[in-house]
């Protein structure tokens, strides 16, 4: 059971070596203190070390523990010389609070297939580059899990972060339980729990968390395989939902969209799920007629599948991005979502609202002149934009931002009335503009699809660079326009689709559009 008894090399006793990888503030110190107390209370020598100070503020850090018996076969042993740092290839137990940190243990040679029991949470705490990417910059969790499997004798894992959250405790207690459950230390569960009980506070929560970790570690491996490799909300569309949209789209929508669902049956099967979502989205956003207009647009693309490879990916993605664009973010949409009942319930859940407590929700809104004129009828909007007087007034009111309490009578009424302006939207300045832009974009797709299906597909994908509000949206739109302008210039190149995809990647590389400008400059030189 212990690393000691399995040491084949020599008669010499070597310590049990243990590295704990955590981020500053996660309680790695508490965990190593528990391990030290556990060992010392049960007649073992223990030495723990860590890297102190500012290096720990939220950064990756390693705690290192060595354990050595005080008594062996009835003989009392002298005090051993223990190392203050892990030696790559010589670590018996590696504990990681997070999956990328487990990956780091592999990279640093602490976790090795010959020796190591790796105990890690499969939860992710995303790194700065993953979080600041303009699109999806997350690394592949599956790849990390595979590397951990290939770099350990045994990989004990579970979503320990969730267990901690559920027991209202910290991850260190869950990990301590997992170490116990993994049976890598020569101590009993009672002895482990005694160490937790001896700590000053939160004993009950810690023991609950400990139990969660213990159970995750002792669960049959196939269960452990699926626990939390991805967060639960990671599913994307569930296969059954997709299947239902193909075979029985009517059951996916309300009664007023029945006619539209009938139309969806004429589309290629792989695109139907997106189309069902698209009609709901557009109808909710504006009205049922809008959903029909949506289907008209996508139908004009579906007709191009004859030039395709049978995957219908052009139609699927056009169904996605056309719906997203048609339901562009404006004040009315924001007000609509902020006032919905299900949103209030979700906010309460996230804030751990319990019975007998009271919730207040405050919004941070920053309407700018354009966003206000966007929702007004076109002539009024145009006038306001031109009027210096109105500009001054609007600036005065909004430039510091507006805070609204949605849960107050006044605040809710304001947002509710805004949301009810929906019928005005069709006559607004922005609506006209966006419809023209959508039609121009789809016209490009139709132009190029007959000679280069892949290029047409990439043109559709370019819509994803348009995101956000205010300046972020303006930057995205500028990038999108630049991409569309580039299409005719590269269209004759047999590698046009690939080149456009690269340009799109460049557009998502930085906020200021520098990478895109550079890419376009080099592209136009060719």
Partner 1 sequence: MAERSFAQEVQELRLGDGDEFRGEGILAVTKALLQSGVAYVGGYQGAPISHLMDVLGDAQDILGELGVYFENSASEATAGAMLAASVHYPLRGAVTFKSTVGFNVASDALANLASGGVVGGAMVIIGEDYGEGASIMQERTHAFAMKSQMWLLDPRPNLTAIVDMVEKGFELSEASNTPVILELRLRSCHLHGTFTAKDNKRPTMTVSEAVSNPRRDLSRIVLPPASFLHEQEKVTKRWPAAVKFITENGLNEFVNDGAQDIGIILQGGLFNNVNRALELCGVSDAFGNSEIPLYVMNVTYPVIDEEVVRFCESKRAVLLVEEGQPDFIEQNIQAVLRRNNATAILHGKDLLPVAGEYTPAAVTKGVHAFLHKYVPAMVEGTPVVTLPHDDPRSPFAPRIASDLVQGRPPGFCTGCPERPIFAALTLAQREVGEHYVSADIGCHLFSINAPFNIGATTMGYGLGSAAASALNGAQADKRAIAFMGDGGFWHNGLTSGVGNAVFNENNQLLVIVDNAYSAATGGQDLLSSSADNPTRSTKHPIENAVRGVGVKWARTMTNTFKVAEMRDLFKEALTTKEKGPKVIVAQSECTLNRMRREKPAKAAAITSGQRVVNERYGIDPETCTGDHSCIRISGCPSLTITDNPDPMRKDPIATTLSSCVGCGLCGENAHAAALCPSFYRAQVVINPTWWDRFATAIRSRYIQFLQRGVERRLAGIEPIG
Question: By CB under 8 A, what part of segment 302-331 binds partner 1?
Answer: 320, 323-324, 329
Q: In this complex, which beta carbon is closest to partner 1, that of residue 360 or of residue 443?
A: 360
- Of 36-55, binders to partner 1 (CB under 8 A) are 36, 40, 46-55
Please give the radius of gyration of the chain, using alpha carbons only, rounded to the nearest integer.
30
- Token pair for 365: 């809104």
- Token pair for 412: 């809710």
Q: In this complex, which beta carbon is closest to partner 1, that of residue 166 or of residue 383?
A: 166
- Token pair for 391: 């500009």
C-beta of 368: minimal distance to partner 1 in Å? 6
By CB under 8 A, residue 234 contacts partner 1: yes
Q: In this complex, which beta carbon is closest to partner 1, that of residue 281 or of residue 446?
A: 281
- Of 481-520, binders to partner 1 (CB under 8 A) are 511
| Residues 408, 398: Cα–Cα separation, whole Å | 20
Q: In this complex, which beta carbon is closest to partner 1, that of residue 219 or of residue 424?
A: 424
Q: In this complex, which beta carbon is closest to partner 1, that of residue 311 or of residue 447?
A: 311
Instruction: Count the residues of the shown chain that bind partner 1, applying the rule CB under 8 A.
Output: 150
- Of 374-413, binders to partner 1 (CB under 8 A) are 400-401, 403, 406-409, 412
| Residues 369, 396: Cα–Cα separation, whole Å | 11
- Of 59-98, binders to partner 1 (CB under 8 A) are 59-62, 68, 77-90
- Of 123-152, binders to partner 1 (CB under 8 A) are 125-136, 138-140, 143-144, 147, 150-151
Q: Where are the alpha helices (DSSP H) in 108-181?
A: 128-132, 141-150, 160-166, 171-181
CA nearest to 28, candidates 92, 76, 97 = 97
Q: In this complex, which beta carbon is closest to partner 1, that of residue 181 or of residue 277?
A: 277
| Residues 507, 486: Cα–Cα separation, whole Å | 12
Q: Where are the alpha helices (DSSP H) in 167-287?
A: 171-181, 189-197, 203-218, 221-226, 239-247, 258-264, 272-285
One residue of 470, 485, 495, 514 binding partner 1 per CB under 8 A: 470
| Residues 380, 373: Cα–Cα separation, whole Å | 8
Q: Report in angstroms the alpha-carbon separations of 256 from 145, 253, 416.
A: 46, 8, 23
Stretch that binds partner 1, among 9-17, 179-187, 220-228, 430-438 (CB under 8 A): 9-17
CA nearest to 201, candidates 249, 169, 176, 158 = 169
3-class secondary-structure state, position 125? coil
- Of 170-229, binders to partner 1 (CB under 8 A) are none
C-beta of 47: minimal distance to partner 1 in Å? 6
Q: In this complex, which beta carbon is closest to partner 1, that of residue 353 or of residue 518?
A: 353
By CB under 8 A, residue 293 contacts partner 1: no
């Amino acid at each position: 059971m212990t690393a000691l008894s399995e040491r084949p090399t020599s008669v010499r006793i070597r310590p049990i070596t243990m590295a704990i990888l955590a981020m500053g503030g996660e309680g790695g110190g508490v965990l190593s203190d528990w391990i030290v107390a556990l060992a010392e209370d049960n007649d073992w020598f223990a030495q723990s070390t860590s890297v102190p100070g500012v290096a720990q503020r939220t950064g990756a850090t390693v705690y290192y523990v060595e354990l050595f018996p005080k008594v062996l076969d009835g003989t009392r042993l002298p005090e051993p010389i223990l190392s203050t740092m892990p030696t790559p290839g010589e670590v018996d137990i590696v504990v990681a609070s997070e999956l990328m940190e487990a990956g780091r243990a592999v990279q640093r040679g602490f976790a090795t297939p010959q020796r190591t029991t790796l105990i890690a949470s499969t939860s992710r705490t995303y790194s700065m580059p993953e979080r600041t990417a303009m699109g999806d910059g997350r690394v592949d969790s599956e790849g990390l899990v595979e590397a951990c499997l290939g770099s350990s004798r045994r990989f004990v894992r579970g979503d320990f972060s969730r267990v901690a959250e559920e027991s209202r405790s910290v991850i260190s207690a869950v990990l301590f339980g997992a170490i116990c459950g993994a049976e890598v230390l020569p101590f009993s569960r009672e002895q482990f729990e005694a160490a937790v009980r001896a700590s000053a506070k939160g004993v009950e929560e810690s023991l609950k968390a400990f139990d969660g970790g213990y159970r995750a570690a002792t669960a049959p491996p196939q269960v452990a395989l699926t626990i939390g490799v991805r967060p639960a909300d990671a599913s994307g569309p569930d296969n059954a939902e997709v299947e239902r949209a193909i075979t029985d789209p009517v059951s996916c929508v309300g009664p007023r969209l029945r006619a539209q669902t009938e139309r969806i049956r004429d589309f290629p099967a792989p695109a139907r799920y997106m189309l069902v979502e698209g009609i709901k989205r557009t109808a909710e956003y504006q009205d049922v007629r809008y959903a029909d207009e949506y289907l008209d647009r996508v139908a004009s693309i579906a007709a191009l599948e004859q030039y395709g490879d049978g995957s219908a990916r052009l139609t699927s993605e056009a169904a996605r991005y056309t719906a997203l664009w048609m339901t562009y973010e404006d004040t009315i949409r924001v007000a609509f979502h902020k006032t919905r009942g299900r949103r209030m319930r979700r906010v309460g859940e996230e804030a751990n609202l319990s019975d007998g407590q009271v919730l207040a929700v405050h919004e941070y809104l920053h309407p700018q002149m354009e966003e206000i004129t966007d929702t007004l009828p076109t002539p009024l909007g145009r006038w306001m934009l031109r009027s210096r007087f109105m500009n001054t007034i609007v600036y005065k009111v909004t430039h510091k931002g507006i805070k609204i309490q949605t849960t107050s009578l006044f605040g809710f009424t304001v947002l509710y009335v805004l949301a009810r302006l929906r019928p005005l939207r069709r006559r607004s300045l922005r609506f006209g503009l966006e419809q023209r832009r959508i039609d121009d974009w789809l016209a490009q797709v139709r132009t190029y699809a007959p000679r280069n299906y892949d290029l047409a597909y990439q043109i559709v994908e370019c819509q994803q660079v348009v995101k956000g509000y205010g300046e972020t949206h303006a930057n995205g739109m500028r990038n999108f326009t630049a991409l569309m302008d580039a299409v005719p210039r590269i269209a004759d190149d047999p590698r046009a689709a690939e080149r456009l995809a690269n340009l799109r990647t460049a557009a998502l590389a930085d906020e200021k559009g520098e990478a895109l400008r550079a890419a376009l400059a080099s592209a136009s030189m060719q």
